[in-house]
Amino acid sequence: MAAMMITVAALLFLSTSASAFNITRILAEHPEFGAFNDLLTKTHLSSEINSRATITILAVADDSIGAISGKPLDVQKRILSNHVVLDYYDAFKLRGLKKSSLLTTLYQSTGLAERQQGFLNISVTSSGIAFGSAVEGSPLSAKLLGGIMSQPYNISVLQVSSPIVAPGMDPSEPLPPIPSPTPPAAETPEAASPEEEETVETPAESPAAESPEADAPAPADAPAEAKKKHKAADEEEEEPESSSAGQISGGLAVVVGLVCCLVA
């Protein structure tokens, strides 16, 4: 039983030793980051970094940190919080990212971030790796210069070319106004096709009164009409014949009468 407890204690000690780190001691071995190291101590960010199990530090050398060295301590803390990424990234892992990715920083965990101030935008190209604030319109101003130290997968310290200052972290440089949304473009009415514009009336749709054939008799009525005309012509021919027969009959009667008178 005692041997088992000793083994468990040894394993816990080894795991704790493997994951424990001290950012102040790490940077102390690199004097060119002395000003950056001092700012982490003054802002108490070093203790927050050491309390994390997995972290990445984007360190700025003394000859490039002058842009933030004269700012108020609270502003410096906000800016440096954006140089602490809440995950493990060494140079090799960064090169394996997509062309454009977002990294979450320690400033995002404070609850003070506005409009993606707590995120970094990273761009990976053939010419190198660049960092910038994820706030819309922010430039990719910091370039990756190389790695300082790494302890996979607990802590990685990388060197960048300049401080990454998100808009609005410094009260003297407020966030730009949110651009108003672009109104949707008006829909262009569809032009009628020539086929739709030229409406051709079919014979079935044309009014019967306008058709020149409307007054003409139907084909079925034509024979009957012809018969009527032929009958009228026959009647006109029969009338002279009847008249002639009457005249002949009257003449015969006169002749017969004269003959009778002579005989008598």
> Could you tell me if residue 175 is inside a domain?
no
State the residue range of the domain holding 55: 18-160
Strand order in the sheet with 119-125: 84-85, 55-60, 155-160, 142-151, 128-133, 119-125, 100-104
> Could you tell me if residue 65 is inside a domain?
yes
Helix axes of 73-81 and 34-42: crossing angle, nearest 10 degrees:
110
**pTM higher than the cut 0.75:** no
- Tell which residue, 8, 11, 12, 21, has the closest CA to residue 153: 21
Q: What is the mean pLDDT of the chain?
A: 78
In the Cβ-directed half-sphere of 215, how many Cα atoms lie within 13 Å? 2
pLDDT (average), residues 137-146 = 96
Provide the sign of the torsion angle of the four alpha carbons 11, 17, 18, 20, taken in this order.
positive
Tokens representing 48 are 């927050």
For the segment 39-80, what is each residue's pLDDT rounded down to a tens digit?
Answer: 999 999 999 999 999 999 999 999 999 999 999 999 999 999
d(CA 262, CA 242): 31
> Could you tell me if residue 137 is inside a domain?
yes
> Could you tell me if residue 135 is inside a domain?
yes
Residues with Cβ within 8 Å of 215's Cβ and at least 6 positions away in sequence, in order, are: none
Residue 134's domain is classified under what CATH number?
A: 2.30.180.10
For the segment 33-43, what is each residue's pLDDT rounded down to a tens digit?
Answer: 999 999 999 99
> Could you tell me if residue 28 is inside a domain?
yes
> Could you tell me if residue 82 is inside a domain?
yes
Number of domains in the chain: 1
**Position 88 confidence tier, pLDDT thresholds 50, 70, 90:** very high
